[in-house]
C-alpha cells in the first residue's frame, strides 16, 4: 500500500504465525504425527493450519483434528516408516521396558 510519499506494509500476523509454526511442525511430522495438549497451543486453528501448510510444502498429505480429551493432533496419511525408523522406535521401547524392570517393586 502506498500513501503519498510513504510506503506502508501490512503484515498479517496470523499468516506470519502460521509460517513460523509450520517450520517447527515439519520437523515433528517427520515421525508421522504430532500430538499436543490444547493448553500448550495459543491458537488451535492456526496450529492446525500450520501443520497442513508444513505438509503441503513437503508434498505430504496431512490431517489434523482436536480430540475430546483436549489434544490437538496432526498426522501424515502417507507416512511409511523406514527400517531404521522402526529399529529406533523398537530400541526406545526396549530401553523403556528395561528401565521399568529395574525400578524397585512396590508392595501391593
pLDDT in tens, 58-90: 999 999 999 999 999 999 998 888 899 889 989
Task: Determine contact, residues 32/76, Cβ cutoff 8 Å.
Answer: yes
What is the percent of the chain with per-residue pLDDT over 90, rounded to a whole number? 57
Mean per-residue pLDDT of the chain? 88
Cβ neighbours of 61 (radius 10 Å): 12
Banded model confidence at residue 3, pLDDT cuts 50, 70, 90:
low
pLDDT value at residue 55: 95
Cell numbers describing residue 47: 496450529
* Alpha-carbon span 94 to 42, nearest angstrom: 35
Q: Work out the average pLDDT over 23-46.
A: 93
Amino acid at each position: 500500500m502506498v500513501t503519498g510519499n510513504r510506503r506502508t506494509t501490512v503484515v498479517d500476523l496470523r499468516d506470519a504465525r502460521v509460517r513460523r509454526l509450520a517450520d517447527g511442525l515439519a520437523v515433528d511430522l517427520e515421525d508421522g504425527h504430532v500430538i499436543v495438549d490444547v493448553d500448550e497451543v495459543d491458537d488451535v486453528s492456526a496450529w492446525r493450519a500450520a501443520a497442513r501448510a508444513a505438509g503441503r510444502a513437503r508434498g505430504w498429505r496431512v490431517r489434523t483434528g482436536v480430540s475430546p480429551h483436549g489434544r490437538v493432533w496432526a498426522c501424515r496419511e502417507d507416512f511409511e516408516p523406514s527400517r531404521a525408523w522402526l529399529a529406533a522406535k523398537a530400541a526406545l521401547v526396549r530401553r523403556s521396558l528395561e528401565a521399568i524392570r529395574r525400578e524397585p517393586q512396590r508392595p501391593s
